Amino acid sequence: MATKDSKYQEVCPFWSAQSLKCQLCQGGLFIPLDDHIEVYCKTLNYPQCMQYTLYSANHVQLMAKYRQANRNLRKYERVEICQKVTLVKLVGSGQVASHLSTIGRTLDLSMGGMRLATEKPLINDTIVRFSFEEFFPKNLQEGTGQIAWCNKQIDEPGYQAGISFRDDRLINAMGLYLGHYHHP
């Protein structure tokens, strides 16, 4: 018989000794009988339990999905900053494609990009030149970026978009401005 401090699992990891229930089968689809509990749930034979075999892999996958969904997928921390920004579309050569500009307002900035609100939709993957007002730090007043995403707002007029910075100089300068350091 294994001792209490054994590193091996003596009972099914889904057996709750406190509530005397199988945690795999919440909702009442399977309620183990006493003989099942004695043969499988409370012994090293738990991997042979049909419920364990059927549901444990699914349970592990669901827990992994839950952990993944609750993880912050942002590469850089966002800092809420509200600044007027002007966007101009560029062509592949870096030349201005249109002299019509779009005005937006930043919602937040990070070392890798910005989230902004605009009145007009922006097209994904478009390269833009952006410029901030004069009171923004000189080395950050202009730069280039790529529209990563754009979504119509449901509860208010307008759109929100994400722009990723394309210039290493700007990324490093923004990191210093926001108090972060760029680690390639």
List domains and CATH numbers for the chain. Answer: 15-69 (no CATH), 84-178 (2.40.10.220)
Q: How far is CA 178 from CA 5, 27, 29, 98, 182, in A?
A: 49, 49, 53, 31, 11
Residue partners of 173: CB distance under 8 A and separation at least 6: 137, 139, 140
**Amino acid 165: pLDDT:** 92
Q: Count of CB atoms within 10 A of residue 45's CB?
A: 13
- Which residue type is seen at 141? Q
Q: What is the per-residue pLDDT across 70-81, written as a single tens digit (0 to 9) for each? A: 555 567 788 888
Mean pLDDT, rounded, for 103-107: 93
Where in the chain does DSSP place strands (E)?
15-16, 21-22, 84-89, 102-110, 113-118, 127-132, 142-152, 159-165
pLDDT band at 119 (very low <50, low <70, confident <90, very high): very high
Residue % of the chain over a pLDDT of 90: 22
**Amino acid 173: pLDDT:** 87
pLDDT band at 9 (very low <50, low <70, confident <90, very high): low
Q: What is the per-residue pLDDT across 48-103, written as a single tens digit (0 to 9) for each? A: 888 777 776 666 676 666 666 555 556 778 888 889 999 988 876 666 666 678 89
**Amino acid 116: pLDDT:** 94
83, 132 Cβ separation under 8 angstroms: yes
pLDDT band at 184 (very low <50, low <70, confident <90, very high): very low
pTM over 0.95: no
